[in-house]
Structure 1
């Protein structure tokens, strides 16, 4: 059975856990490596330092901020140390996608009134049933223990930022009033590829926004290329509003 199928089939275990009268704290199932209690930079340091299988130091390719950024960075470092980045990424994203398709689990993740023991027990059983790797399983359990399941989708998005940067993949977001034709999309990708140079791979994400009136707006990295009609109109308006010296 494919990994995503295993995860979906494991989610019904949640119902059994929620009905259990013996839902108590399961801290014992955690390895000593996963003992953080808050989504702080210290958590990221402890998790990533101990979860890997080698002593080699790993530096995150992109600096992320906030609690979700710390979680994503810690998971990246742990997976990278264990030489299991692709596997952990696939497992993590499949888990998040499968959980989004389960109304019961989505509600479970957002409900802060669920006891810590119930959260931990549910995530432990689901991850074990789905045969997730130890890094992914222990990370999910720790997120559950720390009451951050409601942030799992945000953590996953930030984690993808790191894995893409690790692979030299740059996402460019192009905004237009209508979808680009295939030839236009290819030409834009080639242009961005020339700008970024070798060693980078461009992927395009298209957004539709009638408010730009025409043209395109391209965002990649920290750069914004605004070639929209709206931007040109605003520039013209500024020029026309300036006083004219007739002499």
Structure 2
């Protein structure tokens, strides 16, 4: 089902379009769109279930060195990949209170990624899928990247300002997340929807370097 949807994902609705910046690659974006469309085509309940399953997988990936090693090892045989996926599915099933079987859509996604040697891109796929689900739920996720953690007061003021934008006014809720990246040097980079507002010192340094190169 997922592979069939990959061919038509570029023609999907506005909810099913995300920028390359939000996915690890163009390929990851296609998988994100495909799994989103496949889940929503069944029902909103299925979309919520797949969302929860992929969230569990992402959390497990961060906590388990074994699963992380499995995901990022492209040299595994087909037999080892199948065994690794079986372990992943069992982990996802065990995380829920009802111990429900993993949905076919989640199984198909991870299996196709594994078979195509793209399992290492799963973080980008999940990130893109989460963005689509947020859009579907009327949520606007705003990422503020800074060289050092921002205070709650600054984040609160940023959130108030963002809520006045046309993009935020269309959303039911606005969620602001602060990410730390020392390469920003100073200032901030704000990502929301398909927009990026780069107010960082690194951006100014990059522009200066480009200007100097042209003048040489």
Q: For the structure 1 residues 122 and 193, does the alpha-carbon distance in structure 2 shift closer, same or farther, using more than 3 Å as the test?
A: same
Say whether 1:188 aligns with 2:126: no
Tell me, yes or no, if the aligned pair for 1:120 and 1:145 is still in contact at 8 Å: no
- State the TM-score, normalizing by the size of structure 1: 0.61
188, 191, 199: which one aligns with 2:171? 199
Tell me, yes or no, if the aligned pair for 2:140 and 2:193 is still in contact at 8 Å: yes
Deviates further, 189-198 or 99-108: 99-108
Say whether 1:99 aligns with 2:53: no
Deviation at 1:218, TM superposition (A): 3.1
Tell me, yes or no, if the aligned pair for 1:60 and 1:77 is still in contact at 8 Å: no
104, 111, 118: which one aligns with 1:141? 111
Deviation at 1:104, TM superposition (A): 2.2
| Cα-Cα RMSD | 3.5
Deviation at 1:170, TM superposition (A): 2.1
| Structure 2: stretches of 5+ with no match in the other structure | 21-25, 94-100, 207-216
Higher helix fraction: Structure 1 or Structure 2? Answer: 2
| Structure 1: stretches of 5+ with no match in the other structure | 1-32, 37-41, 49-56, 235-247
Work out the CA distance in 2 between the residues paired with 1:214 and 1:114: 43
Greater C-alpha radius of gyration: 1
What is the aligned length? 188
49, 66, 69: which one aligns with 2:29? 69
Secondary structure of 1:194 counterpart = coil
Secondary structure of 2:176 counterpart = strand
